[in-house]
Amino acid sequence: MNKSLDSIEKEVYRIVADVLKIDIALLEPETDLIDTFQADSLDALEIVLTTQKVFGFEVDDSQIPMLRTPKQIIECIADALKIENQHTVSI
């Protein structure tokens, strides 16, 4: 499966909006999900578990509290999948 950073971003925004039951238009890369939308640890866990399932990677449990913004989530996925900038890679 090929994934680009753009496709990861779109899917992460969709997942976050679905889990938090918010309009996707309210999300920005630096939006703090905890401060802005009162996401709790169960929301964070659901977001991480869903992204792991969709993208086929594992997040160390110690990283979960540090994933507070869509940008941080996207960077974590891209790092796990070895995706840089706008390049497309096979995973």
CA distance from start to end of the chain: 5
What is the per-residue pLDDT across 34-85, written as a single tens digit (0 to 9) for each? Answer: 999 999 999 999 999 999 999 999 998 899 999 999 999 999 999 998 875 4
- Among 88, 90, 91, 47, which residue's Cα sits nearest to residue 66? 47
d(CA 10, CA 28): 11
* Counted domains in the chain: 1
What is the per-residue pLDDT across 19-34, written as a single tens digit (0 to 9) for each? Answer: 999 999 999 999 999 9
Check pLDDT > 50 for residue 90.
no
pLDDT at position 91 is 37
Question: Domain of 62?
Answer: 2-23+30-90
Residue 43's CATH number = 1.10.1200.10
pTM listed for this prediction: 0.86
pLDDT at position 83 is 73
